[in-house]
């Protein structure tokens, strides 16, 4: 289940965000940022939301889709939803368009209702196809950085890098 065929919508969401960071970094450096960076970021985000959100009738992003955009692995992984939040926030910061605020609120609502483990702490890493905590792909809670980024990135500028922005924030305090 970890490496099924098809596409991983979470990577489309992550790349949408990364393209906006690249665009902002080029601009910060005084270089020309090609128009396709924003266009592709929008396209990747829109495609992931269109094809993978609620793809099997349950809320949330399925982990993978086949080449015809049908769910292959229906589990929901926390990192995909964390990247969705970060991508929506980056698109909102870049464009100011209300639809990205709506998606951001939708994704955080889903995370709040399903992934945050209030009893055991942290986030559930995986949900089954019915949005119950599971561990068939990765048992336990092996990954924290996606959740951490989902909380940090929306409050930071798109450039400079995450590490540079956080270092500057900490230094100012």
Q: Which of 78, 81, 124, 146 is an active site residue?
A: 146
Whether 1 is catalytic = no
CB atoms within 10 A of CB 95: 14
Q: Which of 11, 21, 51, 114 is an active site residue?
A: 11
Whether 32 is catalytic = no
- List, in sequence order, every beta strand (DSSP E) within 37-148: 64-65, 71-73, 76-77, 126-127, 133-134
CA separation for the pair 162, 173 (Å, rounded): 17
The residue to which tokens 């909380």 are assigned: 151
- Which tokens sit at 80? 């995909």
Q: Which residues are catalytically annotated?
A: 11, 146
């Amino acid at each position: 289940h970890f490496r099924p065929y098809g596409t991983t919508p979470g990577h489309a969401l992550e790349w949408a965000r990364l393209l906006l960071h690249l665009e902002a970094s080029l601009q910060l450096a005084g270089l020309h940022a090609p128009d396709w960076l924003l266009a592709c970021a929008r396209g990747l985000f829109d495609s992931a939301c269109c094809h993978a959100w609620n793809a099997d009738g349950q809320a949330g992003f399925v982990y993978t889709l086949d080449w015809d955009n049908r769910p292959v692995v229906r589990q929901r992984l926390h990192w995909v939803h964390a990247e969705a939040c970060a991508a929506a926030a980056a698109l909102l910061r870049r464009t100011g368009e209300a639809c990205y605020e709506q998606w951001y609120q939708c994704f955080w609502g889903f995370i709040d209702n399903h992934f945050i483990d209030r009893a055991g702490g942290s986030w559930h890493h995986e949900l089954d196809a019915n949005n119950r905590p599971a561990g068939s792909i990765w048992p336990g809670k092996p990954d924290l950085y996606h959740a951490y980024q989902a909380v940090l990135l929306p409050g930071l500028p798109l450039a400079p890098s995450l590490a540079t922005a956080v270092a500057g924030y900490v230094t100012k305090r």
